[in-house]
Amino acid sequence: MKKKFSLSWEGSKQIRKQRKYLANAPLHIQRKFISSHLSKPLKEKYNRRSLGLKKGDVVKIIRGIFKGKTGKVERINLKEKKIYITNIHIFKKDGTKTFYPIHPSNLIIQELNVDDKKRQKVLDRKKK
C-alpha cells in the first residue's frame, strides 16, 4: 500500500480508502479531524454546528462508559485522534489511574476557551 497523501483526493465509499486517507494525512491536516459539535446555546450564539477542539474547552461525553459526564480537555493526541479529559480516568490492574482516551465525535462542546485571538476571529467571522 502506498504511503503517499493526496490533497486532490475527493472521497470514496470504500472504508479502506477513507482509513488510508486519515492514517496518511500530515499532522497539520489531521488537526482538522479533531472537531466536535457545539451545544444548542453555542450553536445559536455562533451560528455554526461544529468547531475544532482546543485544550481548555469544557465538553460533555455523549457516548461510551462515561456518558453524561463533563470535564475540561486536558490533552489532545493528533496521531491517535483521541481527546483526554480531566476527571475521566480508568483504573489499571495495578491500581494506578490513567486518562481514558475518547474520540472527538463522542463529545459535545459546552463551553469554549476563547483566550486565543485566532479562535475569536473564526467565531466572529461566522457570527456575522
The whole model's pTM is what?
Answer: 0.85
Q: Is 4 inside a domain boundary?
A: no
- pLDDT lower than 50: segments of the chain: none
Q: Which amino acid is at 9?
A: W
At 23, which CATH number?
A: 2.30.30.30
Q: Say if residues 32 and 78 touch (Cβ distance below 8 Å).
A: no
Q: What is the predicted pLDDT for the residue at 86?
A: 95
Determine the number of helices (DSSP H) and then strands (DSSP E) in the chain: 4, 8
The answer to the question of residue 101 being in a domain is: yes
For residue 40, tell me if it sits in a domain.
Answer: yes
At residue 70, the pLDDT reads: 97
Does residue 90 belong to any structural domain of this protein?
A: yes
Q: How many domains does the chain have?
A: 1
pLDDT of residue 36: 95
Which of 94, 96, 104, 63 has its CA nearest to residue 85? 104
8, 20 contact by CB (below 8 A): no
Q: Is residue 93 part of a domain?
A: yes
What is the residue range of 58's domain? 15-127
In a domain, 92, yes or no: yes
Task: Give the integer Cα–Cα distance in Å for 89 and 85.
Answer: 8
* Residue 5 domain-assigned (yes or no): no
Cell 474547552 -> residue: 57
pLDDT value for 127: 66
Q: Residue 2 has what pLDDT?
A: 65
